[in-house]
Chains A and B, each alone.
Chain A
Amino acid sequence: MYFPISGATIDPFYLIGLGFIIGILGGFFGVGGSFLAGPALFVAGVPMNFVVGTDLLHIVGKSMVAARKHGILGNIDLRLAAVMVFATIGGSELGVQAIEGLKRVARVDLVVGVATIIVLVAISIFVFLESWQALKLKGSRKPISQQTSQEKDKRAFKFIAHWTHSLDWAPKMDLPHSGIKSISIWAILIVSLVGGFFSGFLGGGAGYIRMPCMVYLLGIPTHIAIGTDLFEIVVSAGYGSFRHAMNGNVDVMIALIMQTGAAIGAQIGAVLTQYFNGPRIRIAFAPLPLIGAGLIIYGLVTGKHIH
C-alpha cells in the first residue's frame, strides 16, 4: 500500500502486526513501545523524519485503549495522573529544547546516545536485581485474583519509596487509590518532569523510565503505575504528536493502520497484567530498556540512526 504523505510503500498487514505486538507490550508494561516501533518503521521504509511523529500518534490511540481497560480493572490513580500530566508536558518541552541546544554546541548524537545508554542499562540492572530479590520474598498465599494491589506487589528495595514519602516538602497530598497516605507533590512533579524530559530528549513516551520511577521512587503499586502511566501517555503523546504534525513529521495513515492492530494487542496486554504479580511483571520488563540501548549502540557504531 502506498502512503502519499511520507512516500513510503508498506504492506498494511506488517503495520497491523507491528501495532499488535507493540500493543501487547504497551498494555502489559505501560510503555509506548517506541524502542521497537521506531526501528521497525524505519526498516519498513518510513523516512526518518516521519518515524518519531507517526509513532507518537499511534501511541495516543493505543494508550487510550489500554488505559480504558486498565481503568475498568481499577489500575488508574486519577489524582496522581492529574498532577503528573502537566509536569510531563513541561519536561517534554525542556527535553526538546535541550536537544536543540546540544545541536548548537556539541556532537548531539554522541552525547544523547551515551547518556541514554547509561540510563537504560542502569534501569535494566536495577529493575532486574530488585524484582529478583522481591520474587524471593514470601508473599500472600491467596489466589492472585483475590489479592489487593499491595499484596500483589512485593518489593525488595522499599526504603527508596519510604524516603520519598518522608520528604517534608509542602504541599503534600494523599493517594488513597495507590495506598499512599502522604507524599510531597514536588516528588511527583520531579518524577514526571524527568520522565517528560527523557520523552522530549529521546523521542517516544519514555514509559521505560517513568514506570520504574513511579514504582521505586513514588512507591506506586506496579499495576497502578502501569495504568496511570498509560493514562498520562495519552495526554503527553497527544501533545507531542500534535507538535510533530504541525512540522509535517506525521504520516497519519500509517499511524491509523498501526493503531488498528495495537488496539487489539493493548487489550490483551492490559488483561494479562491481572494474571501476574508485580515482581513478575517487573522482571519481564527488565530486558526492555536493553533493547533500546542495543539499538542506540548499533546507531553509534554504524552511523545508521534508526531512532
Chain B
Amino acid sequence: MEPLPNWKTFLFELLLYAALLVAYFACVLHYLGGWFKELFDHDRNLFAVMALVIMIGQTVCLEVISSFLIWLLRVKKK
C-alpha cells in the first residue's frame, strides 16, 4: 500500500486538475454538442458507443495529462 499522500502535493494536483478541466470545458465540450445531437438523431447505436468512448476518453485523458504534468514538475524540482 502507498503511504498517505502529502497534502501539499494532493492540493496541487487538484488545482492542476481543476485548471485542466476548465480549459477542456471551454475548448472541447463547446464544440461537441452539435455533433452529438446529429448522432443522437440519426444513429442511436453509434451515439451509445461514442457516449461511452468519450466519457472514458475524457476521464483517461485528464488523468494522464495531470499525472504527466506532476511528473514533469517533480523532475524539474529534483
Chain A residues at the B interface, C-beta cutoff of 8 Å: 3-5, 12, 16, 57-58, 60-61, 64-65, 68, 72-74, 145, 238, 241-243, 245-248, 250, 252-253, 255-257, 259-261, 263-264, 267-268, 271, 274-275
Contacts and interface: CB of A to CB of B under 8 A. Distances in A.
Contacts of B63: 65, 68
Contacts of B56: 60-61, 64, 238
B47 A259 contact: no
Contacts, number: 101
A268 B48 contact: no
23 contacts: A4-B34, A4-B37, A5-B36, A5-B40, A61-B58, A64-B56, A65-B63, A145-B3, A238-B52, A242-B51, A243-B48, A246-B45, A252-B55, A253-B33, A256-B29, A256-B55, A256-B58, A257-B25, A260-B24, A263-B17, A263-B59, A264-B14, A267-B17
B29 A257 contact: yes
A296 B59 CA distance: 32
B73 interface: no
B54 interface: yes
Contact of A241 (B21, B25, B44, B51): B51
Given A4-B33, A4-B34, A253-B36, A242 B14 contact: no
B51 A65 contact: no
Contacts of B13: 267
A241 B1 CA distance: 32
A238 B32 CA distance: 20
Contacts of B10: 267, 271
B70 interface: no
A159 B14 CA distance: 41
Given A65-B59, A259-B59, A248 B36 contact: no
A3 B40 CA distance: 12
Interface of B is mostly: helix
B36 A252 contact: yes
Contacts of A58: 55
B51 A267 contact: no
Contacts of A256: 29, 32, 54-55, 58
B2 to A, nearest CB: 6
Contacts of B44: 245-248
B21 A245 contact: no
B52 A73 contact: no
A145 B25 contact: no
Contact of A3 (B2, B33, B48): B33
A271 B10 CA distance: 9
Contact of A267 (B2, B4, B14, B34): B14
A252 B14 contact: no
A268 B2 CA distance: 16
B69 interface: no
